[in-house]
Structure 1
Amino acid sequence: MLIVFGGLPGSGKTTLARALAERLGAVHVRVDTIEQAIKASGIPSRDVGPAGYVVAYGVAEDNLTLGSVVIADSVNPLDITRDAWLRVAARSAVTAVEVEVICSDKIEHRRRVETRKTDVEGLVKPTWQETVDRVYDDWGQRPIVVDTAAKDVQEIVEALIARLGIAGPFSI
């Protein structure tokens, strides 16, 4: 299974993706980490463009074909990136589930964006203004929508596991 997380910066998607990956023993593929590694490699361009996503698609596909559950973690702002994840799942002959992470409390969302620390060396987090100005296509009706404003991480992870009908290595 490919579980594709998306959402604006500061919505809580990486926190959820990590917690779910840990609970399931899944592979966590984070586009921020990949993009920063590309930048650190010395490639002259400051903007890596689609390269981070393209690398993430390949890493995800490799792990899916090995039978691993993969959790893709990125802002995933455009229909084109979301459709590409679905093609990765189709090529790997696995189910894809899309999860849009939101924080409906705008004051809390802004606080998170403005106070969070980076955990990827060299990664500069976007400002609140950059977050709200970001191009972000509507997902329509296809994703599971998770609101991090009112529930804690473990509650959301348990609800996702129940909704997806999946279990991790702990149940073997």
Structure 2
Amino acid sequence: MFFLQMSGFPGSGKSTLAHMLARRTGAVIVDHDVVKSALMEFMEVQTMDAKTAGKISYGVDWSLIDFHLSLGHAVIFDSPCLYAEMLGNGMRLAEKYNVKYKYVECYLNDFQKINERLKNRSRKTSQIQEVLSEKVFSVAVDSSEKPLNVEHLVIDSGKPLSSYIDEVLEYILE
């Protein structure tokens, strides 16, 4: 059993990879965008309150992850990983339930391709539609928190999923 913490800029392919991994492994996905969008829609949260909605939804995410791990399910957390506390939470839960902690970053440092993906996807309420500044993008794309003392995987998600899915499966199942 494992807990997989996904990471990567919006539009980098986290959800696409998470869905394929869930189909292949039977793992449960906790998707931050689903939780945050539901909260925003239910509470009729405006854009200025999106930060608060994000904070609350992370609390819900971690509760769901804890619950599913307690039932003996492998869990994939589909979310950017921008804060060190997220790494700590993930590692603590993996230790609590004695499961393997895994971390995969979908890395795509291509402003045009990211924007193309963002504009062409079926967007949830909480998701961005495009990145307006290349400067903001270049800083953010390299801002993912990575575990220091844990083997982790960074994949080039600009390539076709078929070119790296087996490598990711091998990593999470080892």
Question: What TM-score, normalized by structure 1, do the two folds share?
Answer: 0.82
Q: Secondary structure at the match of 2:155?
A: strand
Aligned amino acid, residue 7 of structure 1: G
Q: Secondary structure at the match of 2:164?
A: helix
> How far apart are 1:137 and its partner, in Å?
4.3
Q: Secondary structure at the match of 2:171?
A: helix
Question: Which residue is equivalent to 1:147?
Answer: 156
C-alpha RMSD over aligned residues: 2.4
Correspondence list, 1:83-122, <5 A: 83-118=88-123, 120=124, 122=125
Question: What TM-score, normalized by structure 2, do the two folds share?
Answer: 0.81
**Moved runs in structure 1, 4+ residues, more than 6 A?**
none
More helix per residue: 1 or 2? Answer: 2
Structure 2 distance, partners of 1:52, 1:162, is 31
Matched, 1:80 2:85: yes
> How far apart are 1:53 and its partner, in Å?
1.2
Matched, 1:52 2:57: yes
**Structure 1 unaligned regions, length at least 5:** 167-172
Q: Secondary structure at the match of 1:139?
A: coil
> How far apart are 1:39 and its partner, in Å?
1.4
**Structure 2 unaligned regions, length at least 5:** none
> How far apart are 1:138 and its partner, in Å?
4.4
> How far apart are 1:106 and its partner, in Å?
3.9
Aligned amino acid, residue 139 of structure 1: K
- Percentage of identical aligned residues: 24
CA deviations 1:63-118 (Å, max 9, x no partner) are 11211110110012111222212122122221110111111444322322333231
Tell me the number of residue pairs that the alignment of Structure 1 and Structure 2 aligns: 163
Whether the 8 Å CA contact 1:114–1:128 is kept in 2: the answer is: no
Distance change in 2, residues 1:87/1:129 (3 Å): farther
Question: Which residue is equivalent to 1:66?
Answer: 71
CA deviations 1:4-55 (Å, max 9, x no partner) are 1011001101100111011111101100100111112226573213211111
